[in-house]
């Protein structure tokens, strides 16, 4: 199942996963640009996402905290963890301050990626200016060397901005 991008459509994705579970397609794992679902018996489930860096040796303790609240771990990828529960289970995030913290966690991680990609972009622009000055023969090569980090930088920057907007909405 494709994702609209968690920074942009987290709630929509979680609702879509719930609807798919009712049809017998249960979330199994994250996949590139979305999720992998497995055929199962139809279930009434709600899904929720948490952003948290958790060292592998502490992952079970982290999951136990959610299990105590009725949430079952479904899948984790990096600092993203999706949990499922029966409808009516108390939400993982119940107040604005915890929601803000959730998005700050996500924004912090993507912010590091933005800074890294920006630095790589600057370095590659400078390197190509030094090694390929006024070169018409290698113009296409230079173009792609310069564009490669930008291809990743632009979506990362948009994701960072989306988290910033979510934080702003929660605060005010």
Is 90 a member of any domain?
no
Is 91 a member of any domain?
no
Instruction: Kindly state whether residues 124 and 80 are assigned to the same domain.
Output: no
Instruction: Kindly state whether residues 49 and 106 are assigned to the same domain.
Output: no
- State residue 70's pLDDT score: 96
Rounded to whole angstroms, the Cα distance separating 100 from 86 reads 25
Domain boundary among 85, 109, 138: 85
Instruction: Kindly state whether residues 72 and 101 are assigned to the same domain.
Output: no
Question: Can you give the residue range of the structural domain that contains 36?
Answer: 6-85
Output Rg (C-alpha) for the chain, integer angstroms: 20
DSSP string, 130-160: HHSTT-STTHHHHHHHHHHHHHHHHHHHHHH
Report residues of the chain scoring pLDDT below 70: 135-138, 172
pTM of the model: 0.76
Rounded to whole angstroms, the Cα distance separating 48 from 132 reads 50
Domain boundary among 85, 117, 136: 85
Structural domain total, the chain? 2
- State residue 170's pLDDT score: 83
Q: What is the strand order of the sheet 80-85 is part of?
A: 46-51, 80-85, 72-77
């Amino acid at each position: 199942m494709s994702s609209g991008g968690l920074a942009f459509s987290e709630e929509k994705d979680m609702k879509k996963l719930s609807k798919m579970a009712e049809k017998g397609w249960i979330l199994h794992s994250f996949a590139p640009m979305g999720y992998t679902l497995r055929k199962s018996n139809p279930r009434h489930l709600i899904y929720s996402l948490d952003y948290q860096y958790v060292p592998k040796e502490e992952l079970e303790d982290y999951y136990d905290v959610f299990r105590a609240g009725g949430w079952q771990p479904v899948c984790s990828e990096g600092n993203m963890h999706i949990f499922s529960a029966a409808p009516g289970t108390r939400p993982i995030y119940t107040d604005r301050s915890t929601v803000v913290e959730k998005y700050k966690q996500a924004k912090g991680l993507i912010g590091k990626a933005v800074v890294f990609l920006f630095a790589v972009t600057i370095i590659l622009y400078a390197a190509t200016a030094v090694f390929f000055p006024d070169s018409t023969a290698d113009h296409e090569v230079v173009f792609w060397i310069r564009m490669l980090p930008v291809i990743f930088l632009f979506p990362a920057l948009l994701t960072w901005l989306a988290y910033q907007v979510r934080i702003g909405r929660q605060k005010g």
